[in-house]
Structure 1
Amino acid sequence: MDEKFFLGIDAGGTHTDAALLAGAGRTIRLIAAAKVKTCHEDLPFSVREALTALGSAVGSDSTALFGRISSVTLGTTLAVNALVQNRADAVGLALSAGPGLDPRRFALGAHVCVAPGGLDHRGVEVSPLRLEKLAARALVWRGEGIPATACVGKFSPRNPAHERAMAAAVATAGLPVTQGCRLAGSLNFPRRIATAYYNAAVERLHHKFLNAVEPALANAGICAKSMLLKADGGAVPIFLSRRCPVQSILSGPAGSVMGVLAMSPSAGQGCSLVLDIGGTTTDIALVLDGSPVIDRDGMLLNGRRTLVRSLATASVGVGGDSLITADETTDDAVVRVGPLREGPAMAFGGNRPTLLDALNARNSGTDAAAGDAAASRAGIAVLAEACGLSPADLARQAVDNALTQVRKAAQNLLDGVNARPIYTLTALRALHEAQPARILLVGGPATCLRERLSAVFGLPVEIPVHADVANAIGAALTLPTAALEIYADTGQGLLRTPIFDLEEAIGKTYTPTAARERACALLTAHLAAEGITDATVEVLEEDMFATLDDRGYGAKDIRVVCQTVPGIAGRLAAGLP
């Protein structure tokens, strides 16, 4: 069997990691890994530097090896970091709902415009769309420097006509537009609003990242098609990810989980809590008997549910480089870590104390220090004096606050998962309660927090081999996936696939079986066009409702969702250094 080569690149808020792996079957070996600082002002430089470092680690045959790479998968936490720190783009949000609740109840952001008009649940117009106000507001948004917009109609998956008209009106102002119906086909209006809003909020950053990576890969002699990690633990071709950036907002946490599955035998034993402590955020996930737990309600961003299928994860703005702040207006200074990050820890040349600096000032015994511990202690001492605290108290309060935030976020995730039957990528565990037996800890500051996390959670903590580049390894080994959703309305005689903007004529006797077959055939053909011929397609959801057509005759509304099954290409061989 010919050996295949896999490249994974993960761009985080603090570091950009790269991992080159190879294998001839399900057993994979790590050839080389690299970690460089992320330069947000020059992402192409960061990617080039990571590839250069990777080439140096490989040695003199790096050019030949790079030319043999058959799979490149990218992951990034840049988008989720921007959302956690409230640094994503402002969005102009255009809504239309017709009769019923005011859509402003579900709106996000400070720039909202409601266009009168609406459709019913079958996509039939009940009131004409009026665009004068929206067109004028779009010009105001442009004048205010709003860089992104989203248009969402209440029943747009059943008929995108109003949403298309709204998008055209906004586009006349020269603004980029996200259309809700192109992202997901579900009729959940509030979640489709959130999906479109966050897609627009991260779109510019998403394209900036991809625009940096693609030429850097080509310049390094890497010709393999590139994929991007998604929130559900699968990978999607880059050109498709450009259409739907929201799917990759939580690619960082997904990379952590897939990396742990590849690296840790313990991930296949019972329930494990996965913690990835980076420079900007801590990402939290669950693995049950070797399969990640799925969030059945859709990806959660800043407290709002979306229509994006994702692993059950949580992200909290606590990382090694998260700033320490203190409220000096109270008698007892309130010390907090995060969510802001403004550079590296003082231990690595930064100007302001961070969580890592507090750990360096506190740690002894089995928990390690990192970087220049003396610089950390000096920075903590200066901040402590300004707050009227001793350096020991400030460091202790900072570390305790960080651990409390992580512990609370993990408990909230567990409570949410255990409130309903548990779905994993491979099975429904209707009677299984997720109670972690261990923590699988990855990320750069992992060794600095191991013992403290164990004490706070009351669980053993394992750090897998190569934990500092877990996301890049997970990205490299993640299998490609895709999904689509179709609607068939026998009353109107139409089948719609919103993500492809496709409409087909169907007969009055169209059946759910025919819809299933058509959905799977469309997805299979789409994958084949991308050179993916060995993926397994499964039907995720199917429902049918009896309706009456315009003449009062019986009709059927049929909805089918199908996808390829996520997974990893193999696992790292045991005993690697």
Structure 2
Amino acid sequence: MRIGIDVGGTNTDAVLMDGTTVIGHVKHSTSKDITGGIGGALTALQQQYSFSPSAVQAVMIGTTHFLNALIEQRGLAPTAALRLGLPATAALPPMVGWPRDLVSAVQGRHYLAHGGHEFDGRRISPLDPDEIRRHAADMARSGTRSVAISSVFSPVNLECEAAAAEIVRQELGPDVAISLSHEIGRVGLLQRENATIINAALRELADHIVDGLASSLVEHGIAAPLYLSQNDGTLMDIEYARRYPVATFASGPTNSMRGAAVLSGLASCAVIDIGGTTTDVGVLTNGFPREATTEVTVAGVRTNFRMPDVFSIGIGGGSLVDADGLTVGPESVGYELGSRALVFGGDTLTATDIAVAAGLADVGDRSAVAHLDRGLVSTALDRISRRVADAVEQMRTTSDPLSVVAVGGGSVLLEHELPGLGTVIRPERFDVANAIGAAIAQVSGEVDRVEAVRDGRRQILADDARQEAIDRAVAAGARPESVQIVEFDEVPIPYLPGNATRIRVKAVGDLALHSGLVSTGQEGSR
């Protein structure tokens, strides 16, 4: 058996699964510290279906806590950015274009040093160890506790970042947290560097959160391995989560989409995930969320690490509704829905009250909304449907018919048909699809690099990349016989010489529950 948990802004959902069969599922209010909500969900799950903690083989958790911490600028460590690339790259220093308040929140300092490579592996300039030591000494004087190191074209050649990291560790001590850009982002210096700085700023918080999650399991007698969901819907172990907290940023929407694929039986469709605060719309391709192909802006910072292509709007079960029903959201009562909504004895008109009044949901006290004007209810529902339908239309890339699956507890807000999209599929247990997506998640291995493709070498390079992706998935904990290639891209880069081509391969496989993940293998799950 395995337990899947998804921590949302309003509810924490948990499911107990035996293979692909859902044995039990619960919803529990999310707490401010998230661990309290997880503990409550585990207790409720145990009460609903009495299971032995020793029978649980793995626990999978999805949370956007790290993303929320970045947006709210809390728990961020004093961070320094070291870029290797002089005499190039000096015109645009690290953290250029960042919101000033975010730079202040991370006490951001930046340093430029020699090093780096061209796309074909040629050096830009030799690394200067003394220069790195001088920068490290200044970091120590300024109280830096986390360091982000980026080098020009490090996804092609990582040796400069590795060498600089060793020097910084020698100067600042073994406890300093170091994030290397070739492990986090893709080709594109500024965006990759930004993602690395964000990751570095979250490292201390990651230790705190992971320890809290692990303690929650121990308190409930569960000794099974703990995994966290990644942005692409696959898993990482807790040591990997400590090192790469940015890999969890979009785990909530991706869990819901993966759960929608399992529950609906559709490998390709649009997924509408309506929670208590927001509605996330994404597209499934071959059972996995479609990834964003352009840079992704996070908290006002441009990045290029792996993120799903998701469009979000401020509509959810806790959304505030105005007196005439013309405005629904984006303000929400959030995790206070259970005390502030009319049907739960509160004094605030929410979207959940509208759904109950319309007969779309049966929660709380229906008599508490019996006085609502029918015109108000109809107007609010129409407003919700049209905004959600518009969001789905924005995610289209073709005019081909697109099946629509609705999941999440808030999906009861939708009527059976959406304008211009037809019937909405709402599968069984739609309200805990996110937790199911976490529980059935697989592990992955990915290769993303730039190669100079010479005559007769294309197929060899492609085959090598495929095999490396498979090997990384197996090293990350996948059962070898279950691994398969799910994505393969070759993209010529015309602005670089030498017939440069970006080769990207992704392999996924089922988690080998008795083997456990290993931290070294998780390097391939980027």
Band the TM-score falls in, shorter-chain normalisation: 0.7 to 0.9
CA contact (8 A) 2:95 2:194 kept: no
1:450 aligns with 2:405: no
Alignment partner of 1:19: what SS?
strand
Q: Deviations over 1:308-365 (max 9, x none)?
A: 3344322334433356799xxxxx9996723676641212879884xx7255158633
Shift of 1:79: 3.5
- Separation in 1, partners of 2:158, 2:500: 13
Task: Return closer, same or farther for 1:561/1:537 CA change in 2, 3 Å cut-off.
Answer: farther
1:35 aligns with 2:27: yes
Residue 402 (structure 2) aligns with:
436
- Separation in 1, partners of 2:199, 2:370: 41
CA contact (8 A) 1:281 1:317 kept: yes
- Separation in 2, partners of 1:291, 1:435: 19
Alignment partner of 2:199: what SS?
helix
Residue 564 (structure 1) aligns with:
507
Superposed, 1:457-468 pairs within 5 Å as 458-468=421-431
Superposed, 1:270-285 pairs within 5 Å as 272-285=269-282
Shift of 1:156: 3.2
Shift of 1:276: 1.1
Superposed, 1:23-102 pairs within 5 Å as 23=19, 28-41=20-33, 43-59=34-50, 62-63=51-52, 66-82=53-69, 89=76, 92=79, 94=81, 96=83, 97-98=85-86, 99-100=88-89, 101-102=91-92
1:183 aligns with 2:180: no
Shift of 1:478: 1.8
Give, as a single letter, the amino acid of the residue that structure 1 aligns with 2:5. Answer: I
Task: Return closer, same or farther for 1:411/1:516 CA change in 2, 3 Å cut-off.
Answer: same
Q: Deviations over 1:95-143 (max 9, x none)?
A: 535325524685434225442334341362438765667864775576x
- Separation in 1, partners of 2:308, 2:475: 26
CA contact (8 A) 1:94 1:134 kept: no
Residue 353 (structure 2) aligns with:
360
Superposed, 1:173-572 pairs within 5 Å as 176-184=177-185, 186-200=186-200, 202-265=202-265, 267=266, 272-287=269-284, 292-297=289-294, 301=298, 306-322=303-319, 337-338=329-330, 343-345=335-337, 346-347=340-341, 353=348, 357-360=350-353, 364-368=357-361, 370-371=363-364, 406-414=388-396, 418=397, 433=399, 435-437=401-403, 439-447=404-412, 449-451=413-415, 454-455=417-418, 458-485=421-448, 513=460, 516-517=463-464, 520-521=467-468, 524=471, 527-528=474-475, 530=477, 532-538=479-485, 540-541=488-489, 561-565=504-508
Give, as a single letter, the amino acid of the residue that structure 1 aligns with 2:460. Answer: T
Shift of 1:540: 3.1
CA contact (8 A) 2:445 2:476 kept: no
Shift of 1:45: 3.0
- Separation in 2, partners of 1:434, 1:302: 34
After superposition, the CA RMSD in angstroms is 4.8
Shift of 1:167: 9.1
- Separation in 2, partners of 1:205, 1:406: 34
- Separation in 1, partners of 2:369, 2:35: 31
- Number of residue pairs aligned between Structure 1 and Structure 2: 487
- Separation in 1, partners of 2:64, 2:124: 41
Unaligned runs of 5+ in 2: 513-526
- Separation in 2, partners of 1:456, 1:134: 59
- Separation in 1, partners of 2:211, 2:242: 10
Task: Return closer, same or farther for 1:123/1:163 CA change in 2, 3 Å cut-off.
Answer: farther
- Separation in 1, partners of 2:332, 2:195: 24
The one of 149, 152, 155 aligned to 2:153: 155
Residue 108 (structure 1) aligns with:
98
- Separation in 2, partners of 1:526, 1:567: 9
Shift of 1:470: 0.8
Residue 516 (structure 2) aligns with:
none
Give, as a single letter, the amino acid of the residue that structure 2 aligns with 1:154. Answer: V
Alignment partner of 2:336: what SS?
coil
Unaligned runs of 5+ in 1: 327-331, 381-390, 419-431, 491-508, 549-553, 570-577
- Separation in 2, partners of 1:296, 1:91: 31
Could you tell me the percent identity over the aligned residues? 25
Residue 423 (structure 1) aligns with:
none
- Separation in 2, partners of 1:337, 1:217: 35
Shift of 1:84: 6.2
TM superposition score normalised by structure 2: 0.74
- Separation in 1, partners of 2:80, 2:375: 46
